[in-house]
Structure 1
Amino acid sequence: MSGTPQGSIWRQPAQVWAVAFACVVAFMGIGLVDPILPAIAESLEASPVETELLFTSYLLVTGLAMLITSWISSRIGAKATLLVGLGLIVVFALLCALSGSVVGVIGFRAGWGLGNALFISTALATIVGAAAGGSGAAIVLYEAALGLGIAVGPLLGGLLGELSWRGPFFGVVALMAIGFIAVLTLVRPDGERREPMPFSAPFRALRRPALAVLAVAALFYNIGFFVLLAFSPFPLGFGAMGIGLTFFGWGVALAVTSVWVAPALMRRTSRTSIMLVALALLAVDLIAAGIVVASPAALVVCIVAGGLLLGVMNTVLTEAVMEATDLPRSVASSAYSAVRFLGGAMAPPTAAALAHAYGDTVPYLFAAGAVLLAALTVLLGRRALAHIDESGSDEGEDAAAVLIGDAT
């Protein structure tokens, strides 16, 4: 990347902004249901474990579908894949809003996950390919979209959830429809080269030691991520707006560190060192959350502090995966994402079941243990990740320079 012309991250082609906007809305879907989980449980007479399956069905299908997204997009093209994904999200979000049972919502969230997989896996490759400033700028922009979406999702969910638990789903339908139109009209398939990928490409990609290490670490890390995100609304005891504001703060913290702090850290130290420190601190934060879980104010502090650490991890992991192999980025991203989303899928219902059996402290201890396993995976796999550390300094410096507009 050293020879890539750099400029402000905000000076991007219209098609990049169209995909980035749709990314914001897609990532809003992750935290959107957070503020309405207690309301859904009450309105549809569902247990906490059943309610947490809204995350599981969504993330499980997203993860499994990631294994075929590169095969699909290499045949029908990136723009068509983006549109199919966005269209599926619109349809299934609408069906969630109209559903009359928790089983129906769980099933429709699975369909939503399929659309999300098609869109998200293709969106990163599209932004990387079209963004001005090279891959460093593209990844920072992608992480900015992720952070903004994760921050705004709970806030919108809280605002609309005060009216009805169905409100947030209708909100996604409207916003995703706008995203669909933006991608349809602004993304240009001109000059798009299609090289059909074999169906087995993502599976073979996981045989690469560096990618396998990152995928396993991300699986355990995502358990911690989604326990904090999906389980915390229940012990907080707040209404929809209170939960929304809490996770808005969490999302803002995540966005700030993913866009500004992580690139600055990568300019100064290796990626594996950053991951090891961030994972250790995240484990401490989760243990603290388990200890203070009976105090809503203290738990809010732990949630927001966790967001700071999650932002660093998200950006460093994304950049590491992009540099892990010489495979096409879409293949590497799909293989890695398939594994990490499986970790997110198992976390919410497991946390709810542990809370029911042993109390609200235990899910956070379970999450801390998973995060420490992620750190151990990175530590034991450092030799396989050596080439990622060698390129990490230059990438982090370039990304930070692009972000602040060092070269205009």
Structure 2
Amino acid sequence: MSSASHARPTTSPFRQPRAVWAVAFACVVSFMGIGLVDPILPALASDLHATPSQVSLLFTSYLVVTAVAMLVVGAVSSRIGAKRTLVVGLVIIVVFAALAGASDSIGGIVGFRAGWGLGNALFIATSLAVIVASASGGFAGAIILYETALGLGIAVGPLLGGELGSISWKGPFFGVSALMFIALVATIAFVPSLPKPAQKTSLVAPLKALRHRGLLIMGLTALLYNWGFFTMLGYAPYPMELDAHKLGLVFTGWGLLVALFSVFFAPRLQARFGTAKVLYANLAALGIVMTVIGAGVSTPTTVIVAVIASGAFIGINNTLTTQAVMLVSPVERPIASSAYGFVRFIGGGLAPFVAGKLAEAWSLSVPFYLGAAAFVLAIFVLSTGHRLLGEAERGTADTTLLEPLGPAAAGRPVIVAVGATPDAATTVDAAADIARGLGSPLEVVHVRETVVIEELAIDPEDVATARAALTAHLDRLAAAGVAATGQLLHSVGDHAAAARVLAAHASDVDARAVAVGPSPRGPLAQFTDGSFTAALTGAATSTVLLVSPGAEPRELTPAALAELRA
């Protein structure tokens, strides 16, 4: 069901303050990351007279430092604020990327990449939060910008790396330093100071969080996945036998599939089949791809095609693994992200080094076969948490997602879904009239979202803010003599996932109808992040009513009203 006929003019997600564009530009450069370096790996080995295992330490130093840094970024950000954390991260990247380009030894580059990893951890941990806090196009607009930056960075990184690398292997390092310097200046100039969190994050909180079984299982699953993933990134360029320019084109194709499947396909597959089933199939597919690379390591075309195809599965896995972490974790989202990031990056950091030693001791096929085994083992580890993940998706985990406000009323309720929109009060009033006409109790529901974008997650609002907004509606209704109860729900995923959580709740309480207002989100936002109304209509067993100022509720025909009263 569409709200197009009642839709209000929407703000373009690309009409944003300069602060948002400054951080979005930095995000593009940051997401170039590893893809920027991949095309120059063979050139580094040749020019610096280094073995592939020595070159692989560029990944190891970068990722191991990133892993350790993930344990402290939350504590740092909660103490010095998001902008300062962002600026410190950018300064570190600018300095260490330039030093890596100026180095003439593989040992020096490896060491400077470690510093780069620290800066990137600080930047990534806060960039999405800063964009969301600074965006004027609403939360949906901020997400679109971030997803755009992600797609551009992943796709353009290898292309730029290949072009600069064809001139000199130093080019990508100096290129990142120069681009990040521009982003640093813009961030300092345009991003305002943001308030510090009310509560400081403990340094040991992420490690303590790993005592929770669900979070540990997902972390170990991601560790094994990253083992296979970074084995491929670190060693696939060698058997392709291509120059830096052509390697850049190959990994650009790979990056495009990563971005597309991460943003567009992963949420839709999850909605259709469930998180666990998609992850099982996806990890199995990655295992097959790695086996193909191992078996065809002497045939460059086979390796090239397999690597490009793997981008689709990697994009799906990055998004759904993060979503699974957020579903099963009983701790706050920043703490869960830090704990999960620490474990998964350890796997990514160790894999290239071990792969190099195996390749030198036996053959280049062995690391890829081990990577395939890691993907298969990840399926087994994930299966040990199957019940936990299934319960979390259904909202029946031990840490309940429902937070009732007000005394329960007898009878089948009319539910009205409210968000942070200008006409929310009008929508609630219209739903109250419908409930009164049906002789049903009114229940006001707000879904607090944890949005997952590739390997990152963010809470646009905390529990206290969401609860206060919901309570304000109940207080206003009470003042007008209208009795109502409230429910605060929680969803993980895209915007459409919030609708499915609402539909499940409506089914649980046997609601007579679910009323929603017209969407303030434009067609682009609904395409990229899922349409709430369409997902609700498809999933709900109750009648869905669209209410809008000055218009009759859609779908509430006399025949439908008689049926509801029966």
Fold match by TM threshold 0.5 = yes
Shift of 1:139: 6.5
Q: Which residue of structure 2 lines up, in the alignment, with residue 403 of structure 1?
A: 528
Alignment check: 8 A CA contact 1:36 1:157 kept:
yes
Cα distance, 1:124–1:370 mapped onto 2, change above 3 Å? farther
1:280 counterpart SS class: helix
The one of 145, 153, 157 aligned to 1:153: 157
Give the counterpart letter for 1:283 in structure 2: G
Range 124-133 or range 373-382, more displaced: 124-133
1:288-339 CA-partner distances (Å, limit 9, x unpaired):
1111221111211100111000000111122233333353322211111111
1:368 aligns with 2:372: yes
Shift of 1:140: 7.0
Alpha-carbon distance in 2 for matches of 1:366, 1:407: 42
Shift of 1:209: 2.0
Range 327-336 or range 179-188, more displaced: 179-188
Cα distance, 1:141–1:214 mapped onto 2, change above 3 Å? farther
Q: Counterparts in 2 of 1:15-54, with a 5 A limit?
A: 15-54=19-58
Sequence identity (%):
48
Cα distance, 1:394–1:51 mapped onto 2, change above 3 Å? closer
2:387 counterpart SS class: coil
Give the counterpart letter for 1:54 in structure 2: L
Shift of 1:151: 2.2
1:113-146 CA-partner distances (Å, limit 9, x unpaired):
1111111122244445566665x88667655534
Alpha-carbon distance in 1 for matches of 2:238, 2:317: 25
Alpha-carbon distance in 2 for matches of 1:265, 1:397: 14
Alpha-carbon distance in 1 for matches of 2:492, 2:93: 37
Alignment check: 8 A CA contact 2:66 2:345 kept:
yes
Range 87-96 or range 235-244, more displaced: 235-244
Give the counterpart letter for 1:334 in structure 2: S
Q: Which residue of structure 2 lines up, in the alignment, with residue 87 of structure 1?
A: 91
1:75 aligns with 2:86: no
TM-score by length of 1: 0.91
Give the counterpart letter for 2:66 in structure 1: T
Range 312-321 or range 215-224, more displaced: 312-321
Give the counterpart letter for 2:232 in structure 1: L
Range 355-364 or range 164-173, more displaced: 355-364
Shift of 1:150: 2.5
Shift of 1:196: 1.1
Give the counterpart letter for 1:384 in structure 2: L
Alignment check: 8 A CA contact 2:214 2:329 kept:
yes
Q: Which has the higher contact order (CA 8 A, sep 6+)?
A: 1
Q: Which residue of structure 1 lines up, in the alignment, with residue 219 of structure 2?
A: 215
Shift of 1:98: 0.6
Cα distance, 1:152–1:319 mapped onto 2, change above 3 Å? same
TM-score by length of 2: 0.66
Cα distance, 1:252–1:54 mapped onto 2, change above 3 Å? same
Alpha-carbon distance in 2 for matches of 1:250, 1:218: 20
Q: Counterparts in 2 of 1:94-133, with a 5 A limit?
A: 94-127=98-131
Alpha-carbon distance in 2 for matches of 1:295, 1:143: 35
Alpha-carbon distance in 2 for matches of 1:65, 1:404: 30
Alignment check: 8 A CA contact 1:22 1:179 kept:
yes
Q: Counterparts in 2 of 1:107-256, with a 5 A limit?
A: 107-127=111-131, 142=146, 144-256=148-260
Shift of 1:203: 0.8
Alignment check: 8 A CA contact 2:56 2:352 kept:
yes
Q: Tell me the number of residue pairs that the alignment of Structure 1 and Structure 2 aligns.
A: 403
Q: Which residue of structure 2 lines up, in the alignment, with residue 315 of structure 1?
A: 319
Cα distance, 1:203–1:9 mapped onto 2, change above 3 Å? farther
Shift of 1:183: 2.5
Alignment check: 8 A CA contact 2:494 2:529 kept:
no
Which structure has the highest helix share of the two?
Answer: 1
Alpha-carbon distance in 1 for matches of 2:12, 2:227: 32
Give the counterpart letter for 1:312 in structure 2: I
Alignment check: 8 A CA contact 2:359 2:365 kept:
yes
Q: Counterparts in 2 of 1:266-305, with a 5 A limit?
A: 266-305=270-309
* Unmatched runs of 5 consecutive residues or more in structure 1: none
1:70 counterpart SS class: helix
| Larger Rg computed on CA atoms | 2
